[in-house]
Amino acid sequence: MPVLLAPDQAPTLHELLAAANTVGLDCKVVDTSAEPKPRIRGLGSLQFAGVEEISFLSNSKLQAQLATCRAAAVILTPDVFQATEGQALPYTAVLCSQPYLMYALLAQWFDQHRIDHLPGGIHRSAVIDASAEIAAGVSIGPQCVIEAGAKIGAGSRLGAGCIIGTGSVVGRDCLLHANVTLYHGVRVGDRAILHSGVVLGADGFGFAPDPFKEPGAWAKIAQLGGVSIGDDVEIGANTTVDRGALEDTVIGHGVKLDNQIMIAHNCRIGNHTAMAACVGVAGSTVIGERCTIGGAAMVSGHLVLGDDVHVSGGTAITANVGKPGRYTGVYPFAEHVQWQRNAAVLSQLAQLRKRVRHIEKPEH
Amino acid sequence: MPVLLAPDQAPTLHELLAAANTVGLDCKVVDTSAEPKPRIRGLGSLQFAGVEEISFLSNSKLQAQLATCRAAAVILTPDVFQATEGQALPYTAVLCSQPYLMYALLAQWFDQHRIDHLPGGIHRSAVIDASAEIAAGVSIGPQCVIEAGAKIGAGSRLGAGCIIGTGSVVGRDCLLHANVTLYHGVRVGDRAILHSGVVLGADGFGFAPDPFKEPGAWAKIAQLGGVSIGDDVEIGANTTVDRGALEDTVIGHGVKLDNQIMIAHNCRIGNHTAMAACVGVAGSTVIGERCTIGGAAMVSGHLVLGDDVHVSGGTAITANVGKPGRYTGVYPFAEHVQWQRNAAVLSQLAQLRKRVRHIEKPEH
Amino acid sequence: MPVLLAPDQAPTLHELLAAANTVGLDCKVVDTSAEPKPRIRGLGSLQFAGVEEISFLSNSKLQAQLATCRAAAVILTPDVFQATEGQALPYTAVLCSQPYLMYALLAQWFDQHRIDHLPGGIHRSAVIDASAEIAAGVSIGPQCVIEAGAKIGAGSRLGAGCIIGTGSVVGRDCLLHANVTLYHGVRVGDRAILHSGVVLGADGFGFAPDPFKEPGAWAKIAQLGGVSIGDDVEIGANTTVDRGALEDTVIGHGVKLDNQIMIAHNCRIGNHTAMAACVGVAGSTVIGERCTIGGAAMVSGHLVLGDDVHVSGGTAITANVGKPGRYTGVYPFAEHVQWQRNAAVLSQLAQLRKRVRHIEKPEH
């Protein structure tokens, strides 16, 4: 990766480990050489890390790369370290039972360090209604619009071009990247990260047939509910969460939504559930806690998925799922000609079963 | 739902019914108690409506909730009302043969009431070209951009950050929420509702192989057509409608598009057709009137779908559909292990049929 | 199509052919009538082109329309021209071995002519950091934001409301339509076309389980890489390309991405690969050169697709694909009732195979 920090701003390994918020994680530093140690200017993969960077091994398939890694330090488990004892590792070993989590926390430190250097304050081009409440330490980028009665909590940062609708509330220490749009009546908890193009609070898709206008015409059902987002939620670029028809659409604490996801009106998503990109959840569906929904999966409306349900990418969930576990429904791909042959039979599958029945019981 | 109106702004039930545009609907108010009636400050579900709200019963599955509903008034059919005659209903009954449509029209009234109280006029931060034509009663939010020759019809409202490209036309009484983008040469009819992140008129995806540049290189086909949107259309957040290659891409009157939909260049969508979220329609496809396309369905390019065709969510339509009716093609989901077993057979389905044939006619 | 040019700005056919960049293409003009030739004010389909427009025949299915076409000139192959020799064609014939490519190049000329007439320069409402580097001949639309250290190459045009993040680089002669968002650390090559709603450089979706917070909680993995886009790339409306976790996400030269596509972190897309709308590519997947990915297809993460792989629309690619060719996996749609019957059998397919086995070898 690009080295993040100038040499005079980079920490030593021990300074880095002390500065990063690694509370709870075990950590033991083992120097196998007596050479002077470089400062840590960044973080890299085993393959690409430079001599002033720290790396990590979390995927055992990459263990062979340990031998050629050029990093200043590598995070690895005590077990792996013991297994390599014969080799004189050319870097400092940071022993930790959870290298991937340790890496996550160090990467957060580097990213936070970058953010701390961004300009703060409220840009003169932002349009902020006199009745909006902007807490201390908030920064608001150029061309933002904060409408009447909106509230922005302490320490939150809004990138350029964000729009916060009438009466909407953003909690403390949130990070809204550029061009996030909140309609009126949207509530976002603390420490949210909202990416560019996110739209919270657009009208849910609700219509009643209106035979008095014209055959086939639709009457709009005004969407009078709002959107309620918990604490510690991250929402990816161009993802949309619609407002409820009467009550709020609810996203629980710690939920992580990737890009281009659609959460329809009246849905309730349980705490710590994570969804990969391009997922669609139709209206009024309730999804439990700690679920994972794979990319481009689709969940029909008015369903209930329990806790700890894991949906594979590309799967259409069309019925309630009560039991924890992994669920899949993906058409296996093949070379086109082979697919054609099988698909032709699939279209007559009921017929094929009849033929098998007939063989089994010719009298029928 | 959050109570919408302050007590002194809330109507009585009779004022509400008179103010809402319920033309054509039958409506009979039956007071079963002599107690003084509260003003109606909002609208809620049977389960959650408060004592100053009106509710409705349109789904017979919820009929049991009638007994415990706390609302000031409930809309229900004369049939249901008769069936409950034994009970002394603790609220005013509003009898109507179409409670869902009545609810839609009352919800519109509440929403309109909110909109009427928003600030109007043209915000000083908006950038409006001198050659643009802005009709009477138009409101244009902060940070909007109206380019040369664009026209905005009377009574239309543009939220913050909307961009109307050169020569594009927005009809009368339209509502563009924040951050809507219209390219040049886009025409939108009257009473449209466009949600945040909508992009109308981006280039269609057209390329010709250009062997003179490099093997595999593409030459762009400039998209010279426009986009034409009928009257009474609603388009959901982050939905895109591309401009035509030579002629316009056309969205008919009364069409309703949910969020994150993609309508490719040269498509023509018939009047009153509705599409749920995440649908993709590929280029030059023509879809008839009064169709419904379920969420995440996909329609291939250069197809013709007739009137009154209903496509289930998640279905890929890959051939013309002439006959009205419902069409489906969704892989049934299952527990992962069970799916794996079946999918393995699916990949050899032609083989399985051969085996059945061989059993039937061993000589082959 | 709408006639683009005023009569006094329109070229003669020969001026048009000389002005358009048709280098490498063969071209022979055959006048079959002695009448005076109109100027060419636009470009139209065989069916709709007007008498002052040029048309083309590239799809042999449309050959019958040649007889009734009203265009001033038609591009067609020498072969087709010879076959029509009997008829006295009422327009000038432009003979070219590749009419579709010729049409693409002429359409580019008309579009460029339009763009050349747009206002240039830097709009006073744009917010440009003093440390940004804006090259000569750049135009920057109203309400744009160019952050610290960003660079815009010579001749590039930014539509209204674009946001270029800290230190990001846009190459020469790029066209960014309105409301494009680049995060920090994004590099775009020369001659890129980025459509409205594009977001480049949002955080990849990376989390490590964090058991120290709460069961099921996630720790964010800061995304420290960037996005690198090659030359001659076009990216459609509302498409997102996420930044890499440690290295850059890489889009090769000449890649064409349609609308609403999601390219996840760490992906590498090879030169000249084209993807239709609504495709999702999950993290760390590598796709080769000259591939085509059909609309709404999905590619799982950590895969490798070789060069010249063609994926049908709606297909889920869940394993590596080394061999060039076409790959498909789409559930065939049918009338709903018929689908129901077949899908029921599909859910018991392994069972059915067992029954066939048992018939074949009853002793098992």
When CB atoms are compared, the residue of C123, C238, C336 closest to B328 is C336
Digit-coded pLDDT (tens) for B241-250: 999 999 999 9
**Subunits with 3+ C-beta pairs closer than 8 A to A:** B, C
- Are residues A346 and C344, on separate chains, in Cβ contact within 8 Å? no
Cβ atoms B203, B185 nearer than 8 A: no
How far is the alpha carbon of C253 from chain A, nearest alpha carbon, in Å? 21
Amino acid A38 reads P
Instruction: Give chain A positions within 8 Å (CB) of C222.
Output: 104, 107-108, 110-112
Mean pLDDT over all residues of chain C? 94
pLDDT of residue B178: 98
Token pair recorded at residue C233: 């790339």
C83 has pLDDT over 90: no
Residue in B with minimal Cα distance to C2: B225
Helical residues (DSSP H) of chain C, grouped into ranges: 13-19, 78-83, 99-116, 336-346, 349-360
- Are residues A295 and C282, on separate chains, in Cβ contact within 8 Å? yes
Cβ atoms B240, B257 nearer than 8 A: no
Work out the number of other CB atoms within 10 angstroms of the CB of residue C6: 9
Coil, helix or strand at residue A325: strand
Cβ neighbours for A34, distance < 8 A, ≥ 6 positions apart? none
Lowest mean pLDDT among A116-120, B85-89, C238-242: B85-89
DSSP-derived letter for residue A53 is E
Among residues C14, C184, C253, C265, the one annotated as catalytic is C265
Mean pLDDT computed over B137-154: 97
Give the pLDDT band (50/70/90) at residue B83: confident
Q: CA nearest B13: which of B121, B130, B128, B96?
A: B96
Residue from C238, C250, C298 whose CB has the most chain A CBs within 10 Å, to mutate: C298
Residues B101-140 as b/e (b if ≥16 CB within 10 A, e otherwise) read bbbbbbbbbbbebeeeeeeeebbebbbbeeebebeeebbb
Residue from A238, A240, A242, A292 whose CB has the most chain B CBs within 10 Å, to mutate: A240
Residue in A with minimal Cα distance to C278: A278
**Subunits with 3+ C-beta pairs closer than 8 A to B:** A, C
Give the pLDDT band (50/70/90) at residue C332: very high
Digit-coded pLDDT (tens) for A63-111: 899 989 999 999 999 999 988 876 777 889 999 999 999 999 999 999 8
Residues B189-213 as b/e (b if ≥16 CB within 10 A, e otherwise) read bbbbbbbbbbbbbbbbbbbbbbeee
pLDDT of residue B364: 57
A62 or B291: which carries more pLDDT confidence? B291
Residue in C with minimal Cα distance to B317: C333
How far is the alpha carbon of A60 from chain B, nearest alpha carbon, in Å? 25
| Bridge partners, residue A268, by sequence | A250, A286
A174 has pLDDT over 90: yes
Among residues B14, B265, B272, B310, the one annotated as catalytic is B265
Cα(B181)–Cα(A197) distance, integer angstroms? 12
How far is the alpha carbon of A284 from chain C, nearest alpha carbon, in Å? 24
Work out the number of other CB atoms within 10 angstroms of the CB of residue A157: 19
**Terminal CA-CA length for chain A:** 69
When CB atoms are compared, the residue of B42, B278, B347 closest to A334 is B347
Mean pLDDT computed over A160-165: 98
How far is the alpha carbon of A56 from chain C, nearest alpha carbon, in Å? 12
| Bridge partners, residue C335, by sequence | B327
| Bridge partners, residue B163, by sequence | B145, B181
pLDDT of residue B326: 98
Mark residue B300 as left, alpha or beta (left: phi above 0; alpha: psi -120 to 50; beta: remaining).
Answer: beta
- Are residues B328 and C314, on separate chains, in Cβ contact within 8 Å? no
Mutual angle of helices B349-360 and B336-346, in 10-degree steps: 60
Cβ atoms C46, C57 nearer than 8 A: yes
How far is the alpha carbon of C99 from chain B, nearest alpha carbon, in Å? 10
- Are residues C260 and B242, on separate chains, in Cβ contact within 8 Å? no
Lowest mean pLDDT among A4-18, B332-346, C338-352: A4-18
User: What is the edge-to-edge ordering of all strands in the sheet holding B249-251?
Assistant: B133-134, B151-152, B169-170, B186-188, B227-229, B249-251, B268-269, B286-287, B304-305
Cα(C146)–Cα(C194) distance, integer angstroms? 16
Cβ atoms B233, A217 nearer than 8 A: no
Work out the number of other CB atoms within 10 angstroms of the CB of residue C325: 12
How far is the alpha carbon of C146 from chain A, nearest alpha carbon, in Å? 10
When CB atoms are compared, the residue of C202, C222, C341 closest to A237 is C202
Digit-coded pLDDT (tens) for C16-75: 999 888 878 999 999 877 778 889 999 999 999 999 999 999 988 899 899 899 999 999
C1 has pLDDT over 60: no
Mean pLDDT computed over C280-302: 98
Cα(B321)–Cα(B323) distance, integer angstroms? 6
Cβ atoms A296, A277 nearer than 8 A: yes
Give the pLDDT band (50/70/90) at residue C298: very high
When CB atoms are compared, the residue of C143, C207, C329 closest to A334 is C329
Residue from C164, C300, C305 whose CB has the most chain A CBs within 10 Å, to mutate: C300
Digit-coded pLDDT (tens) for C101-135: 999 999 999 998 888 778 889 999 999 999 999 99
Instruction: Give chain B positions within 8 Å (CB) of A242.
Output: 236-237, 259
How far is the alpha carbon of A199 from chain B, nearest alpha carbon, in Å? 7
C-alpha neighbours within 13 Å on the C-beta side of residue A351: 10
Among residues A177, A265, A302, A336, the one annotated as catalytic is A265
A246 has pLDDT over 60: yes
Cβ atoms B172, B137 nearer than 8 A: no
When CB atoms are compared, the residue of A100, A143, A197 closest to C197 is A197
- Are residues A107 and C222, on separate chains, in Cβ contact within 8 Å? yes
Q: Is there a catalytic annotation at residue A265?
A: yes
Coil, helix or strand at residue C79: helix
When CB atoms are compared, the residue of C45, C254, C348 closest to B218 is C254
Q: CA nearest B166: which of B182, B178, B149?
A: B149
Instruction: Give chain B positions within 8 Å (CB) of A167.
Output: none
pLDDT of residue B1: 47
Torsion angle defined by CA atoms of residues A166, A168, A173 and A177, in that order, rounded to the nearest 10 degrees: -60
Mean pLDDT over all residues of chain A? 94
Digit-coded pLDDT (tens) for B353-362: 999 999 988 8
Q: What are the backbone angles phi and psi of residue C60, rounded to the nearest 5°?
A: -60, -20
Instruction: Give chain C positions within 8 Å (CB) of A252.
Output: none
Sign of CA dihedral C238, C244, C248, C250: negative
pTM of the model: 0.95
Digit-coded pLDDT (tens) for A210-228: 888 888 999 999 999 999 9
Mutual angle of helices A349-360 and C336-346, in 10-degree steps: 50
Q: What is the ipTM of this complex?
A: 0.94
Give the pLDDT band (50/70/90) at residue A281: very high
Cβ neighbours for B81, distance < 8 A, ≥ 6 positions apart? B30, B93, B95
Estimate the share of chain A in helix, then strand, then coil, as percent rounded to the nearest 5: 20, 25, 55
Mean pLDDT computed over A302-315: 98
Residue from A168, A179, A199, A333 whose CB has the most chain B CBs within 10 Å, to mutate: A199
Residue in B with minimal Cα distance to C360: B359
Instruction: Give chain C positions within 8 Å (CB) of A6.
Output: none
**Subunits with 3+ C-beta pairs closer than 8 A to C:** A, B
Amino acid A34 reads A
When CB atoms are compared, the residue of C276, C289, C349 closest to B346 is C349
Q: Say how many CB pairs under 8 Å bridge A and B.
A: 246
Token pair recorded at residue A103: 């890496």
Q: Is C51 exposed, middle or buried (0-12, 13-18, 19+ CB in 10 A)?
A: exposed
Residues C231-262 as b/e (b if ≥16 CB within 10 A, e otherwise) read bbbbbbbbbbbbbbbbbbbbbbbbbbbbbbbb
Coil, helix or strand at residue B30: strand
Residue in C with minimal Cα distance to B280: C278
Give the pLDDT band (50/70/90) at residue C148: very high
**Residues written for chain C:** 364
Cβ atoms A235, A252 nearer than 8 A: no
% of chain B at pLDDT higher than 70:
99
Instruction: Give chain C positions within 8 Å (CB) of B311.
Output: 333
pLDDT of residue A120: 87
Instruction: Give chain B positions within 8 Å (CB) of C356.
Output: 352, 355-356, 359
Helix and strand counts by DSSP (H, E) for chain A? 5, 37
User: What is the edge-to-edge ordering of all strands in the sheet holding A193-194?
Assistant: A139-140, A157-158, A175-176, A193-194, A234-235, A256-257, A274-275, A292-293, A309-311, A325-328, B334-335
Residue in C with minimal Cα distance to A290: C216
Q: What are the backbone angles phi and psi of residue A332, rounded to the nearest 5°?
A: -70, 130
Cα(A164)–Cα(A181) distance, integer angstroms? 6
- Are residues B339 and A355, on separate chains, in Cβ contact within 8 Å? no
When CB atoms are compared, the residue of C125, C197, C202 closest to A236 is C202
Going from the C-alpha of C355 to that of each of A361, C350, C358, the distances in angstroms are 12, 9, 5
Sign of CA dihedral C95, C99, C102, C103: positive
Mean pLDDT computed over B87-116: 89
DSSP-derived letter for residue C7 is G
Token pair recorded at residue A343: 């698909």
How many Å is the maximal CA-CA distance in chain C? 89
Going from the C-alpha of C340 to that of each of A347, B122, B287, C345, C347, the distances in angstroms are 11, 55, 24, 9, 11
pLDDT of residue A86: 64
C3 has pLDDT over 70: no
Cα(B88)–Cα(C282) distance, integer angstroms? 59
Give the pLDDT band (50/70/90) at residue B330: very high
Instruction: Give chain B positions within 8 Å (CB) of C260.
Output: 238, 240, 260, 262, 280
Lowest mean pLDDT among A42-46, A122-126, B305-309: A42-46
